[in-house]
Structure 1
Amino acid sequence: MRTPTRLRTLLLAASAAALTVSGPLSAHDHEVPLPAYPVSETGDVVETIFGNEVADPYRWLEEDVRNSAKVADWVKAQSELAADYLAALPGREAYEARIKELYNYERFGIPVEKGGNYFYSRNDGLQNQSVLYVRDGLDGEPRVLIDPNKWAEDGATALAGWVPTEDGSKLLYGIQDGGSDWRTARVLDVATGEVLEDKVEWIKFSALEWAKDGSGFYYSRFPVTEEGETFQALNTNQKVYFHKLGTPQSDDVVVFETADRPELNNVGVVSNDGAYLITYSSSGTDDRYEVSLIDLAGEDRTPRVIIPGFESNFSYIGNKGPRFFFVTNENAPLQKVVAIDITSDDLAREVIIPERETKLDGVSMVGGKLVAEYLVDAKSEVSVHALDGSEIRTVALPGIGSAGGFGGDADDREVFYSFSSFNQPTAIYKYDLESGESSVWERPEVAFNPKDYTVEQKFYTSKDGTRVPMFLVRRADIAASGEAVPTLLYGYGGFNISLTPGFNPSRIAWLDAGGAYVLANIRGGGEYGKAWHDGGRRENKQNVFDDFIAAGEYLKANGITTPDGLAIEGGSNGGLLVGAVTNQRPDLVDAAHPAVGVMDMLRFDRFTAGRYWVDDYGYPSKEADFNLLLSYSPYHNVQDGTDYPAILVTTADTDDRVVPGHSFKYTAALQAADIGDKPHLIRIETRAGHGSGKPTDKAIEEAADVGAFLAYHTGLDLSGVGE
């Protein structure tokens, strides 16, 4: 670790020289000039924390761009610089055209049936937002129910979740504006399309749950923020409310709260028979819940704790009378299914589906059966069970990929599920629960042949000897020849989140140009259960970076990528990953894209949802955790005097999950340091957030900018892409 004095010198340094940057001559015939970076004013903030002098000269960049003219000016200057540079990259226009062509295919959501009505989303290809349709019967004529493309001229207002009443007569839906995590809930009449007067605001991190009789709905919300703090204030005091249809939000009733513990998240779910509200309380991002029941049929609505202690995951599947089924990791790191008789005194757990050697990723109760989704080396496998746990059959999936869905009601005879892979866009299948037969409901036509690309799974060894899987995707001809090509390596490694095969049109464009794409299933994720997660968080966080570094070393050592052709990418916690790995091994990486990353590990817990992340990162206020966080914090560990790869940071002005100040401060530190002549730029999207709800046109433009940047600095020639 550098001394505090050296850190302060680094962060207070300024760069005024103009740079001229070139890509590998074999791929590009001209150089792209980079003007001087805008000057980032340096402040004099130095804090002594646990004996460490910590300089934070760019703290002023934490201010909300809406409230600070100085930050707004900085954003404008950085955006103009990046836009000019990115527009000049060779092959960018052709690359964007190919991405747009690949995006132009029908995309369907999984249908939900209620009262004979089938609700589903559809995007005709290039619509900024998917449209919600309804059919009277599965083969009925589609009718537009909600078209969010009419809500905003820039397409940045999105439909964010929807749920019909049990009889299918009304629809509750969320509205997301500009990519923010905040939601507004509205209700419409399905038959007429009329939007009712009901309007509920300040919803965030919430389920939307109808009462079974359709009289109203349950939701979770936070208090109204102070003026000017909507996108930065900490989220505390979440409560579960009931909204009765036809009444103002001011009349909504609090049905569950934890006033003595304002830091807890509280979410309510209605049982499948409508008799109970199951509430989950949690303190962070870990799957550790205290679960309570509220009897909705009785007069006494006092919550009854049935799972105390915040020790384990208990996720409600469904109930048959008093027998409640849960997925849990209690004494089962790879998870199991248990049943609890809520009328019993001891609330004993009856094991229904025991823990297996592979990760149980989710279970649904439908048609009197349990449908269990497993992850086997990060690939989906699905099995159907009777309610006593006995296995009936496995579901035959189309190949190596990711399956999801399988939801429904107790009397359903069919369910719908999705399947996708790296070379297969999402298709929707109908599954007959009695016969076990799958049939295609909707499968899109695409502007490429999936057989032209190969998907392989390989395993490599990390620094400490751990065996780690990766998916390798290439054009079939390149895979057959064994040719080394520029490679994009993607990772996440945190919060028990599993990365599985999925489709992204921009990835196909990268493959078309001759590149390879690799997804590394590094520790910190949930691919192999609790132990895999624990192996990559808190005091074990360095394992995440080591796993990713080992993936890059494997790709270069085995001739998969070219010696100067490794690009790395990750978003959110993956942005932290990319920033830390670039600091630790700038010699290994040739181009980097940290997106919406957590870059200041000493102050992440001071904004919006950041306080929840202590489960994975630890507490900056505790000395042992602080020292660990300081050791890898991207903002604090830029290696002055070392040549760095080209870096394109991306964020958005309405990101209220990982506030953009993280990326602003990190970029300022990069530009101030003596780290070589490669460009270190930031691309700042407007009217966008952490990712969800982003309009298609913005997604295409950003993918073209990022892909062209990474291609230029790894030697991938885009000139013939799409031909």
Structure 2
Amino acid sequence: MRRSLSLTAALLASTILGAPALAQTRTPPNPPLVEGGFATTDATDPYIWLEEVEGERAMAWVNEHNTRSLGVLQGDPRYAGLHEQALALVQARDRIPSPGFTHDGHIDNFWQDASHVRGIWRRTTLDSYRTDAPEWETILDIDALSTAEGKNWVYKGSSCLPPDERLCLISLSDGGKDAVVVREFDSVTRQFVQGGFELPESKGGATWVDADTLLISRDFGPGTLTSSGYPMVVKRLKRGQSIDQAETIFTGQPSDVSVGGGTLRDADGVIKAVIINRGVNFYESETHLLNADGTTTQLQLPAKSDINALVQGQLVVTTNQDWTAPSGQAFKTGDVFAWNMDAWLADPAAPAQLIVRPGARESVEAVRATRNKLVVALYENVRGAAYVYTPNPSGEWARTRLALAENSTVGLGSSSDQDDRIFVSVAGYLSPSTLSLVDAATGQMAQVKAIPPKFDASGMTVEQHEARSADGTMIPYFVVHKTDMPLDGSNATLLYGYGGFQVSQLPGYSPTVGKLWLERGGVYVVANVRGGGEFGPNWHEAARQQNRQRAHEDFQAVAQDLIARNITSQPHLGVMGGSQGGLFMGAMLTQRPDLINAAVIQVPLFDMFRFHRLLAGASWRAEYGDPDIPEQRAWIAEYSPYQNLRAGQPYPEVFIHTSTKDDRVHPGHARKAAARLEELGYPVLFYENTDGGHAAGANLRETARRIALEYTYLTRRLMDVPAEE
């Protein structure tokens, strides 16, 4: 479904098995940092030069470490086999091609495999897609384009103009960066439009208004970016104009995260409103209506909210805070409700209708609109279900539950503008993904795709346990393992966590985890700690800013619980996480190194005294706090891994990796972490991919190499440990 909707500021019953959860005492904080001590100021940070992303000295350091670490890991006799398996899995042609409905009912897909490493954008009919061997037509070949232009293009998506969707804006990234160039493309002639819209590399967005008009938010030169490095200005660009001729229609504040333009379109592609979103911080935003005379009017919405859909004239909104509407209605955090859009625009005090109010252990994970229905993925205790809601302007919205497999992850895919069909996926840790086409009007569904098993899950099981965190909160986690696993503490166990930004860690089928870890006897654990969204916005809020340490304690509680149950023991326990999860691993390393023998630290945040000065870091102050404010600096100081690395600790050899092309989380974080560890005398493996962006892989081959390096490292640290340890 391709209706354009406003974006928020984020440019993003329990079953207790086994032994009872154990009570804990609060983890002692790290020794207080002394101002003037290591890296508490720029002057006392001896490795600040590693923040020069492509500086000559910094890149020499990177190349030296890459050579050494690759020599160790790729020199391991098991690496070749793991790499071969990873490459076969990520390039497999029997994956489910992710379908996207076009306005005329065709199916779009972006596909990568061994023959299309960078990928192709392709299209087929729905009837053909439902067969075992769809007949695809290539619209744009990114490999061929890269070769022709001598670029390492990474496809970042397309936006096509309704209703015919012939004209498209293609976003292309150099090596995987968030910053993209945008070029107009004719999907019928399959050529870039000569003299068409073309926007130079920048973070930002571009939205069609009509065939000759775009709303664009870019880097327009000095004074047009926020302190987070995102656009502060929205302009209206007419065909034939240069960018400097575009008309400014909205300007935010330097302290904002970002601003951008969008449209609200009905199922026929007709614009009902042109809107501007001002991201005041990562979680709070303003939505402004662009009036016909060029002025804007702020809409009365909760500061923490998302516009989800426009269906049958009903504007569907989720609030992430308790909120009293102008009508006097009181809505609770996590509620989904709707207004008749025309009535609400005419009178902000028009009443809204409540659609969903999640319970304490529930969360709304996704909302999609078909032509006439609203489909909601509602999770209870991290287990998914999908419900269909029918708009009723005069009363309650009717609700029916789709007959999907229980105790699984339910994903809502693309939906049709022309009828009520929607793609719905179901998967579990041991259950390969299936894709069904559902008619939301009738509830009828038919499975159209399923991936064959990618690893041997026979004799394996999934359990859900809970651990008691330091403040008494029960933290759920999943354990995937062989059923006959001995409870003697000898099992090589990988504990994964993220713990931030209201991102839920839902059960999913991972061929690489299954093949490279579970099949080989490893145990895989996913912790649903606070800071995520597993139980709605309040679960996230409980570990934000001054409460960040709660998420770290939750993760530590899960690690302790695994050991208490004799599932594993310190010599066999490793942790893994990326980005915010990389910060999570850094806190685990500096606070409870006695619990672990391995840590895979992926594209991490690490220096939390300088995170807000590096790339997009300023946008995350709403999550972590501001190190320039003394009170907030104090709570950040308690866990910032870089400053809290100390000599004489039982740190295991860690594996840190990042990407030179990551323009979201600065690679300096990872580099400085490795340099400081080495200075203190600890062994460390460091690898930096010179392409790949924040995903640390610009193409499938690079992704397979990263995965093989990680599991080679984990094998060495957790499976090679002598039993007597």
Asked if these proteins are the same fold (TM beyond 0.5), I'd say yes
In structure 2, what is the equivalent of residue 507 of structure 1? 513
TM-aligned CA distance change 1:312 to 1:398, over 3 Å: same
Secondary structure of residue in 2 paired with 1:620: coil
User: Contact 1:132 / 1:145 at 8 angstroms: preserved in 2?
Assistant: yes
Q: Which amino acid aligns with 1:291?
A: T
- Residue of 438, 443, 452 corresponding to 1:436: 443
Encode CA deviations 1:136-187: one digit per residue, 9 max, x unaligned.
4543742011222224469952211223332132332211221211011222
In the alignment, does 2:268 pair up with 1:240?
Answer: no
Instruction: Find the aligned partners of 2:568 and 2:636 in 1 and give their Cα distance.
Output: 32
TM-aligned CA distance change 1:623 to 1:126, over 3 Å: farther
> How large is the RMSD of aligned CA atoms in angstroms?
2.9
Secondary structure of residue in 1 paired with 2:66: helix
Secondary structure of residue in 1 paired with 2:193: strand
In structure 2, what is the equivalent of residue 314 of structure 1? 306
In structure 2, what is the equivalent of residue 184 of structure 1? 181
In structure 1, what is the equivalent of residue 261 of structure 2? 268
In the alignment, does 2:293 pair up with 1:291?
Answer: no
User: Contact 1:638 / 1:670 at 8 angstroms: preserved in 2?
Assistant: yes
Aligned runs of 1:66-105 on 2, under 5 Å? 68-103=55-90, 104=92, 105=94
Q: Which amino acid aligns with 2:379?
A: L
TM-aligned CA distance change 1:218 to 1:609, over 3 Å: same
In structure 2, what is the equivalent of residue 108 of structure 1? 97
Cα drift, residue 82 of structure 1 = 0.9
TM-aligned CA distance change 1:434 to 1:319, over 3 Å: closer
Instruction: Find the aligned partners of 1:653 and 1:101 in 2 and give their Cα distance.
Output: 26
Aligned runs of 1:215-614 on 2, under 5 Å? 215-224=212-221, 234-245=228-239, 248-258=242-252, 260-261=253-254, 263-273=256-266, 274-286=271-283, 288-295=284-291, 299-307=292-300, 311-318=303-310, 320-321=312-313, 323-331=314-322, 332-339=332-339, 341-357=343-359, 358-388=362-392, 389-408=396-415, 410-451=417-458, 453-478=460-485, 484-508=490-514, 509-614=516-621
Cα drift, residue 516 of structure 1 = 0.9
The gaps in structure 1 that reach 5 residues or longer are 12-44, 49-53, 718-723
In structure 1, what is the equivalent of residue 688 of structure 2? 684
Instruction: Find the aligned partners of 1:451 and 1:252 in 2 and give their Cα distance.
Output: 61
Secondary structure of residue in 2 paired with 1:307: coil
Secondary structure of residue in 2 paired with 1:713: helix
After TM superposition, the score normalised by the length of structure 1 is: 0.85
User: Contact 2:33 / 2:637 at 8 angstroms: preserved in 1?
Assistant: no
TM-aligned CA distance change 1:528 to 1:504, over 3 Å: same
TM-aligned CA distance change 1:594 to 1:255, over 3 Å: same
Encode CA deviations 1:56-102: one digit per residue, 9 max, x unaligned.
1211211122xx22112111111111111112224222222222233
Encode CA deviations 1:339-387: one digit per residue, 9 max, x unaligned.
2533443434513314120212232221211111212222322100111
TM-aligned CA distance change 1:618 to 1:504, over 3 Å: same
Q: Which amino acid aligns with 1:135?
A: T
Cα drift, residue 444 of structure 1 = 2.8
Secondary structure of residue in 2 paired with 1:649: strand
- Residue of 118, 122, 145 corresponding to 2:139: 145
Instruction: Find the aligned partners of 2:663 and 2:512 in 1 and give their Cα distance.
Output: 25
Instruction: Find the aligned partners of 1:491 and 1:92 in 2 and give their Cα distance.
Output: 25
Instruction: Find the aligned partners of 2:566 and 2:145 in 1 and give their Cα distance.
Output: 50
Deviates more, 1:346-355 or 1:79-88: 346-355
Cα drift, residue 649 of structure 1 = 0.6
Instruction: Find the aligned partners of 1:560 and 1:669 in 2 and give their Cα distance.
Output: 33
User: Contact 2:87 / 2:700 at 8 angstroms: preserved in 1?
Assistant: no
Q: Which amino acid aligns with 2:507?
A: P
TM-aligned CA distance change 1:189 to 1:277, over 3 Å: same
Cα drift, residue 224 of structure 1 = 4.5
The alignment covers a number of residue pairs equal to: 660
After TM superposition, the score normalised by the length of structure 2 is: 0.84
Q: Which amino acid aligns with 1:697?
A: R
Secondary structure of residue in 2 paired with 1:690: helix
Instruction: Find the aligned partners of 2:657 and 2:227 in 1 and give their Cα distance.
Output: 22
User: Contact 2:99 / 2:414 at 8 angstroms: preserved in 1?
Assistant: no
Cα drift, residue 247 of structure 1 = 5.1
Instruction: Find the aligned partners of 1:94 and 1:266 in 2 and give their Cα distance.
Output: 47
Encode CA deviations 1:31-63: one digit per residue, 9 max, x unaligned.
xxxxxxxxxxxxxx7749xxxxx8312112111
Secondary structure of residue in 2 paired with 1:382: strand
Instruction: Find the aligned partners of 1:256 and 1:639 in 2 and give their Cα distance.
Output: 48
Secondary structure of residue in 2 paired with 1:579: helix
In structure 2, what is the equivalent of residue 132 of structure 1? 121
Q: Which amino acid aligns with 2:289?
A: L
Secondary structure of residue in 2 paired with 1:671: helix
In structure 2, what is the equivalent of residue 42 of structure 1? none
Q: Which amino acid aligns with 1:106?
A: R
Instruction: Find the aligned partners of 1:589 and 1:86 in 2 and give their Cα distance.
Output: 20
Aligned runs of 1:627-706 on 2, under 5 Å? 627-675=634-682, 679-691=683-695, 694-706=698-710
Q: Which amino acid aligns with 2:317?
A: F
- Residue of 53, 60, 77 corresponding to 1:64: 53
User: Contact 1:108 / 1:427 at 8 angstroms: preserved in 2?
Assistant: no
Aligned-residue sequence identity (percent) comes to 25
Cα drift, residue 330 of structure 1 = 4.0
Cα drift, residue 653 of structure 1 = 0.6
Instruction: Find the aligned partners of 2:517 and 2:151 in 1 and give their Cα distance.
Output: 26
